[in-house]
A and B are shown apart, each in its own frame.
Chain A
Amino acid sequence: MTRIWPWLCAASVALSLFMLGLLLALLLTRGLGHFWPSTLEVATLDSGELIAGEAVRETALPQRDGKERLYFTANRDIDGARWRWVAIDSIASRQTPTKLLRLQRGPWGDFIGYLSAYEDGQQRLEGEAAWQALATALAAPANTRPPATLVLETADGQLIRQALADIHRAQRPNAMHPGEKLRYWAHGVWQFLSEGPRAANTGGGVWPAIFGTVLMVIVMSVIVMPFGVLAAIYLNEIAHQGRLTRLVRIGVRNLAGVPSIVYGVFGLGVFVYGIGSSVDQWFFEDTLPSPTFGTGGLLWASLTLALLTLPVVIVATEEGLARIPDSQREGAVALGATRLETLTRIVLPMAMPAMLTAVILAVARAAGEVAPLMLVGVAKLAPQMPLDGDFPYLHLERKFMHLGYHLFDTAFHGDDVQAAIPLVYATALLLVTIVLVLNLTAIFLRHYLRRQRGQPC
């Protein structure tokens, strides 16, 4: 009986690690795999029909034996659908022609087919020359591209014309060798990170959302840290340790358990409708009735999340303060330090690692919150960044984009949920990465501070 105990504990640790590893592996493969130029194939059915697309997955047929395969066929403007289930036993043959082309386009999503001609007003190029011209044109920045038209041919021979201006990227994955694929993949990842969203968040990049998330977390930390640290100092160093202090402490700890949407409602009622509309009446009367601060924005979202993370900060800081032995305080006091001097010269520097722990916990909590943000300032698409070159540079009243909300929006509000799934994984991976990076920064800072003082790490 006593032998099973350590095994039980070890097993639960192993299970947790396994689940975590599984989560990260899933996000990594699905998220990053999305940008890999996967092989396109042309399947010839028994009926003679040709289907060009990317084989996504296979499942068992519901009624009879055998399997069916899901093809991503794109070409929504032609077929009306992007996906096609095909029973495997109805496929006569499969080829992977090297000339098969995949285009990322503006209005209708991807195109899969062949490039038959490239027309730029003066000349009409065909075959390999057309592909060369297209690749050259796409390598140039979007605003310097020539006004050209592409003539595209689907696998079953339909011709369409497409303006070059609508094309974002073109690839012939079957003709690429692994090095080219890797370069294409890296470029795709970079575009995802650095560009704005397209086509109602179902394509393009997430840069505004990354920026909004990080900025909101920073503004929140700047707001919450002074309040949290001061409150913790009061509770631990100044207040009489009586019943009332204990009660306050219990209250603070319980605040951490309030559902986050409740904070969102509070933020909406108090910050947005309460304070925000008053601010509008006093300072922005000329723009009324269109609200400035009387609607959700970066400031109100940061304040709401600051409120949400305040208990976390107070508790973590207070624990750090309580860990400082009284002998340190007495040592300073015995040398003639006043209470304030003891606090600023001994206690606060010693509590610095704990405060950084508090920041870590607050950031981890805040970066992942979506529910309250939906009420107080997050936007599906923010036309302007909250930080730009226009005075006063930081626009606290603007709505902003947030990765968590972007994820939710991509997953449920697009017109093609199936196509959005890889993007959801990629966004989730990014959110995890951002929280990890923010945390690691604080952890290294804490490690550095401890090393500097010769404290054990």
Chain B
Amino acid sequence: MLASNQGHNNMPHQDQSCLSIDAFSLAYAGKQALHELTLEIPRHRVTAFIGPSGCGKSTLLRAINRLHDLNDETSHQGRIMVEGIDIHSPDIDVSELRRRIGMVFQTPNPFPMSIYENVAFGLRLQGRTAKRKRDDIIEWALTSAALWDEVKDRLHQSAWQLSGGQQQRLVIARTLAVQPEILLLDEPASALDPVSTLKIEELICNLKSQLTLVLVTHNMQQAARVSDFTAFLSQGELIEYGPTDQLFTNPRLRHTENYITGRIN
């Protein structure tokens, strides 16, 4: 199959690109998971990865954060560039890279500590911050994640007492607190109820002005609602990539159309 993003005329221009993936392949335990993916992800936009289960969209997202380093059975080829720097180059500081690229997972994973300490976790890793300043950052992060009003009176209670939706927004706040440039969201709302999902979607739209977002989702409507660009992946290959409205209303390929309309999964 052919990565066919040339057909659309309003694709992100090279200059607007924040993250560029260049012929990136990844194999896990000898099994090829991603096949030479190439795409440019634009700055301050929401890009959605859609595709059937096991198509590699989460794998790609995790590769951007170098989470595959945790598993020693993976190997990769090609490049992923963040602001022009190859994330796999040997002189890069992986911790610093991961701070710049925040990641939110499918199931909310607040740490077993207070709400305050959850948000402060990333800050504490970076060394000492004056308490005054830290408090300000925490308030800002929780406000940005639309959670401040709900938790401001119980910052020192356990984060595990929050509801699922609140936990997910707390995780987003925790990530925002270290001021990342890119936020990767791996099906952030799939474990949540409709109201919480709506809140997360609103949040994604609001965060666009601050950073670049990449969203993996199973939910077509969600991708259509919140994303500016959509990439359709299938079996580890990029099938089609373009502006969301174009891809959903006028897909170039039959394969994409079939998936979007629900004829294959």
Give the B-binding residues of A (Cβ under 8 A): 240, 325, 327-338, 341, 345-346, 349-350, 453-455
A335 to B109, CA, bound (A): 12
Q: B107 — which chain A residues lie within 8 A by C-beta? A: 327
A-B contacts at CB below 8 angstroms, number: 71
Task: Tell whether, in the assembled complex, residue A332 and residue B121 are in contact, meaning their CB atoms are under 8 Å apart.
Answer: yes
B65 at the interface (CB under 8 A from A): yes
| In-complex Cβ contact of B111 among A240, A331, A338, A341 (8 A) | A331
Task: Tell whether, in the assembled complex, residue A240 and residue B72 are in contact, meaning their CB atoms are under 8 Å apart.
Answer: yes
7 tightest A-B contacts by CB?
A: A454-B158, A336-B99, A334-B103, A453-B112, A327-B109, A335-B122, A331-B109
Shortest beta-carbon distance, A385 to chain B, in Å? 42
Task: Tell whether, in the assembled complex, residue A335 and residue B98 are in contact, meaning their CB atoms are under 8 Å apart.
Answer: yes
A240 to B71, CA, bound (A): 9
Which residue of chain B lies nearest to A449 when distances are taken between CB atoms in the complex? B112
Shortest beta-carbon distance, B178 to chain A, in Å? 6
A349 to B112, CA, bound (A): 9
| In-complex Cβ contact of A334 among B96, B98, B113, B159 (8 A) | B98
- CB<8 Å pairs between A and B, sample of 8: A240-B72, A327-B105, A327-B107, A329-B70, A330-B109, A334-B98, A454-B160, A455-B112
A4 to B216, CA, bound (A): 51
Q: Is the interface of A mostly helix, strand, loop or mixed?
A: helix
Which residue of chain A lies nearest to B157 when distances are taken between CB atoms in the complex? A454
B126 at the interface (CB under 8 A from A): yes
A64 to B9, CA, bound (A): 116
Q: Residue among A327, A328, A331, A336 with the most chain B CB within 10 A?
A: A336
Q: A333 — which chain B residues lie within 8 A by C-beta? A: 67, 70, 98
Q: B99 — which chain A residues lie within 8 A by C-beta? A: 335-336
A-facing residues in B152-177 (Cβ within 8 Å) = 157-161, 171, 174-175
B95 at the interface (CB under 8 A from A): yes
Q: B112 — which chain A residues lie within 8 A by C-beta? A: 328, 349-350, 453-455
Which residue of chain A lies nearest to B99 when distances are taken between CB atoms in the complex? A336
Which of under 10, 10 to 19, 20 to 34, or 35 or more describes the interface residues of B? 20 to 34
B102 at the interface (CB under 8 A from A): yes
Shortest beta-carbon distance, B66 to chain A, in Å? 9
Task: Tell whether, in the assembled complex, residue A334 and residue B65 are in contact, meaning their CB atoms are under 8 Å apart.
Answer: yes
Shortest beta-carbon distance, B75 to chain A, in Å? 15
Whether A453 contacts B125 in the complex (CB less than 8 A), given A335-B98, A346-B111, comes out as no
Whether A455 contacts B98 in the complex (CB less than 8 A), given A331-B171, A350-B112, comes out as no
Which residue of chain A lies nearest to B108 when distances are taken between CB atoms in the complex? A327
Q: B72 — which chain A residues lie within 8 A by C-beta? A: 240
Whether A330 contacts B67 in the complex (CB less than 8 A), given A240-B72, A455-B160, comes out as yes
Beyond the given A331-B171, A453-B112, please list 8 additional residue pairs across the A-B interface where CB-CB is below 8 A: A331-B111, A333-B70, A335-B98, A335-B174, A335-B178, A336-B98, A336-B125, A337-B95
Shortest beta-carbon distance, A46 to chain B, in Å? 79
Task: Tell whether, in the assembled complex, residue A336 and residue B95 are in contact, meaning their CB atoms are under 8 Å apart.
Answer: yes
A-facing residues in B73-106 (Cβ within 8 Å) = 95-96, 98-99, 102-103, 105
Q: A345 — which chain B residues lie within 8 A by C-beta? A: 121, 125
Task: Tell whether, in the assembled complex, residue B125 and residue A454 are in contact, meaning their CB atoms are under 8 Å apart.
Answer: no
Which residue of chain A lies nearest to B98 when distances are taken between CB atoms in the complex? A336
Q: B158 — which chain A residues lie within 8 A by C-beta? A: 453-454
Task: Tell whether, in the assembled complex, residue B122 and residue A336 are in contact, meaning their CB atoms are under 8 Å apart.
Answer: yes
| In-complex Cβ contact of A328 among B67, B111, B178 (8 A) | B111
Shortest beta-carbon distance, B12 to chain A, in Å? 25
Which residue of chain B lies nearest to A331 when distances are taken between CB atoms in the complex? B109
Whether A325 contacts B109 in the complex (CB less than 8 A), given A240-B72, A333-B70, A454-B157, comes out as yes
Q: B96 — which chain A residues lie within 8 A by C-beta? A: 336
| In-complex Cβ contact of A341 among B113, B125, B161 (8 A) | B125
Q: A329 — which chain B residues lie within 8 A by C-beta? A: 70
Q: A328 — which chain B residues lie within 8 A by C-beta? A: 109, 111-112
Shortest beta-carbon distance, B148 to chain A, in Å? 20
Q: B160 — which chain A residues lie within 8 A by C-beta? A: 453-455
Task: Tell whether, in the assembled complex, residue B175 and residue A332 are in contact, meaning their CB atoms are under 8 Å apart.
Answer: no
Q: Residue among A335, A345, A346, A454 with the most chain B CB within 10 A?
A: A335
Shortest beta-carbon distance, B171 to chain A, in Å? 7
Q: B175 — which chain A residues lie within 8 A by C-beta? A: 334-335
Which residue of chain B lies nearest to A453 when distances are taken between CB atoms in the complex? B112
Which residue of chain B lies nearest to A240 when distances are taken between CB atoms in the complex? B72
Task: Tell whether, in the assembled complex, residue B70 and residue A337 are in contact, meaning their CB atoms are under 8 Å apart.
Answer: no
Q: A346 — which chain B residues lie within 8 A by C-beta? A: 111
A-facing residues in B108-153 (Cβ within 8 Å) = 109-113, 121-122, 125-126
A454 to B103, CA, bound (A): 24
Shortest beta-carbon distance, B79 to chain A, in Å? 21
Which residue of chain A lies nearest to B70 when distances are taken between CB atoms in the complex? A333
Task: Tell whether, in the assembled complex, residue B65 and residue A336 are in contact, meaning their CB atoms are under 8 Å apart.
Answer: no
| In-complex Cβ contact of A332 among B102, B111, B157, B178 (8 A) | B111
Shortest beta-carbon distance, B110 to chain A, in Å? 8
Q: A327 — which chain B residues lie within 8 A by C-beta? A: 105, 107, 109
Q: A334 — which chain B residues lie within 8 A by C-beta? A: 65, 67, 98, 102-103, 105, 175
Q: B65 — which chain A residues lie within 8 A by C-beta? A: 334
Task: Tell whether, in the assembled complex, residue A454 and residue B70 are in contact, meaning their CB atoms are under 8 Å apart.
Answer: no
Q: B67 — which chain A residues lie within 8 A by C-beta? A: 330, 333-334
Task: Tell whether, in the assembled complex, residue B105 and residue A335 are in contact, meaning their CB atoms are under 8 Å apart.
Answer: no
Which residue of chain B lies nearest to A325 when distances are taken between CB atoms in the complex? B109
A336 to B180, CA, bound (A): 11
Task: Tell whether, in the assembled complex, residue A330 and residue B111 are in contact, meaning their CB atoms are under 8 Å apart.
Answer: no
